[in-house]
Structure 1
């Protein structure tokens, strides 16, 4: 039987905080010794990250510890988005085994990073596998590395997120054992005999119809449907277009998952930022490289749209699950949380409402890794929920 528990602490002393959170997690799990532990901690504890990890490992009696820095942490129904806070998830049972991994130096070697991750975990693959990945958001070559990982570990389910910070440091960190590093990836392979389910919801809803790219250069959209791209963007943004800086924090580009798609459907697109716009030149700059003939659309980041998409996804999950989850991990974009909903703990409350009192830990991410179409993808403005359930006997 898989057992798991989650704990959190806001104690000023980082050693006490780590011990307290781990003790609560072990007690909830009914474990004296864990197979593995995942830890997320805010920058207020930054100088003490190695000590926190050693404390978690000591208290949980496991060497298999991984995690990352985060602007905020999630533990059960509690979401803490500022100040000193850490969350710890522990798990155990004969059906599940943990293997931590760490790969330094990310820039310019996406294929090499993927090969090293795969080499670290390949011999430990089991009947069921879930690869949890944490990355330095500022240095990770996300799309190329994830594509290479799919080739290295075909069929392995992948979920995770980019480490985050509150702007006070300018660096993000990943954890493995008692190693703490920027410019690296870390994570944990969960392998054994269990059911793994990963789902994502998005905080953005489509505005209007899809558009065809009729002129583009590099990352510049010049024309959409034969019209200046800025005009089409301004129409989609509506009143927000009068304040360009504000518009760029709410309106983004939607890109279909599948090439040659003629429409953009719910759950079949990813979101990329608009990084600049010029009314004078009629163009917009985007965080990808569009091609003539591509289909794109515009989306609006909106609390109600986000809430409805989350509820719909949780209802779908409830129908898919054969048995109650033993535990879960939630990777939630930093643009969600109280800043979007104006209340704390929003997503966690809905997860509990639909799934019950499942031990869930997580953090607020720089980007998310989750399912899109038939493969794991780099997501933005999303919440990714990874669940582990015991198999029905």
Structure 2
């Protein structure tokens, strides 16, 4: 799908399933550039399967785009565009624009000093950009476990009027290395931050397809991201009690017979996550592992003591509908037609959708009717103006450009 001729902003995408990193990066970027129908590429975002050589992918991308093009990206569990979904491919989106400006910076040492990393990244961005609207894109190491703290730190540095979106880099559930890319650099334990300044506001939307399947449960014993007790009982036992009947009915599995380290339990923890009640909505939190000897659950981010959680579930139909709903919301929020954009979609949704994941991508395509590239994250960032919390799990987040 090509941008409309004469539009001030255009987006085009390309993909490759080549098994060599350099070839995959080159093929995907050349396809996108041929479709862009523009002399200049202002911004590039690239998502590369974790099995590929990230340095080789990035080097090939940079050979195809302009020397001045701002490039960011990250490793990914799965990648997709409006045309296809891939388990092991590269997805690239290119942007050319007369109404948006893109400035990027990288900072490392994220897990040790979130505030310091965000400070360093923001300080490296220009402070004299003369545009009426600003927003941001943030990609970060998915193994750092600092998603919520990162969202709050970015908001403090950029201010409450700068909305932002993005995702945590992922590695096909290997939990070994989730680097991010910025210009010519690939780094672990890092943050890539893009300041998007425009004559009009970029559009950010988010949705998920989960509903509560349990009553409220209070976190009564926790250490960082390891929740030991809910309502004074072992957290893993509370989760099993809440999901036992549903898992038996939907999956024909006895949750009590599952090995704490099994792939099947890992999948079910991704399907039956927890939600934090925010009044008119729930924020999803992923218990990515059980700690059998403690009866605990290990989450992707820190969970404060006293947090009220509910076990959540969303069917395939609900997950597909929520993806389309996020796309339709983006269209409704824009004052003009959308040129295209980026999608940050949680890897956990694959546990529910499985071979229907492409149907969710199709729902985004139907709702957006514009080019997009995205990846399956280890957590999504979406902080819209006026919000106080910006890290999500099992959600679909869109960042889109009006023409």
- C-alpha change, 1:112 and 1:64, in structure 2 (3 Å) is same
Q: Of 91, 95, 98, which aligns to 1:94?
A: 98
Aligned runs of 1:257-296 on 2, under 5 Å? 257=278, 265=280, 267-273=281-287, 275-276=289-290, 284-285=296-297, 287=299, 288-292=302-306, 294-296=307-309
Secondary structure of 1:11 counterpart: coil
Instruction: Give the match for residue 153 of structure 2.
Output: 148
Q: Which runs of 5+ in 1 are unaligned?
A: 258-263
Change (3 A) 1:252 1:169: closer
2:316 to 282, 303, 307: 303
Aligned to 1:350: 363
Q: Distance in 2 between matches of 1:55 and 1:2?
A: 24
Distance 1:73 1:249 in 2: 19
Does residue 10 of structure 2 align to residue 3 of structure 1?
yes
Distance in 2, matches of 1:167 and 1:209, equals 30
Is the 2:204–2:399 contact (alpha carbons within 8 Å) kept by the matching residues of 1?
Answer: yes
What does residue 5 of structure 2 align with?
none
Q: What corresponds to 2:244 in structure 1?
A: 238
Gaps of 5+ in 2: 1-7, 248-254
**Residues of 2 paired with 1:3 and 1:318: CA distance?**
16
Deviations 1:256-303 (A, max 9, x none): 24xxxxxx54x343324174477x99x6545344434x4321112532
List per-residue Cα deviations over 1:32-65 (Å, max 9, x = no partner).
320121111113321xx33432332232213411
1:57–1:64 contact (8 Å) kept in structure 2: no
1:76 aligns with 2:85: no
Q: Distance in 2 between matches of 1:232 and 1:368?
A: 26
Counterparts of 2:400 and 2:329 in 1: how far apart (Å)?
14
CA contact (8 A) 1:67 1:187 kept: no
8 Å Cα contact 1:121-1:189 kept in structure 2: yes
Q: 1:1-393, aligned counterparts within 5 Å?
A: 1-46=8-53, 49-61=54-66, 62-82=68-88, 85-123=89-127, 125=129, 126-139=131-144, 141-154=146-159, 155-166=161-172, 170-211=176-217, 215-216=220-221, 218=223, 219-220=226-227, 222=229, 224=231, 233-239=239-245, 240=247, 241-244=255-258, 245=260, 246=265, 247-257=268-278, 265=280, 267-273=281-287, 275-276=289-290, 284-285=296-297, 287=299, 288-292=302-306, 294-337=307-350, 340-356=353-369, 358-371=370-383, 374-375=387-388, 377-390=390-403
Contact 2:209 2:321 in 1 (8 A): no
Q: Is the 8 A contact 2:166 2:381 kept in 1?
A: yes
Displacement after TM superposition at 1:16 (Å) = 3.6
Structure 1 residues 286 and 71 mapped into 2: Cα distance closer, same or farther (>3 Å)? closer
More strand by proportion, 1 or 2? 1
**Greater CA drift, 241-250 or 55-64:** 241-250
CA distance in 2, matches of 1:271, 1:139: 15
SS in 2 for 1:24: helix
2:50–2:171: 8 Å Cα contact kept in structure 1?
Answer: yes
Specify the SS of the correspondent of 1:345.
helix
Looking at structure 2, the residues matched to 369 and 41 of structure 1 have their Cα atoms a distance apart, in angstroms, of 19
Q: Name 1:260's counterpart in structure 2.
A: none
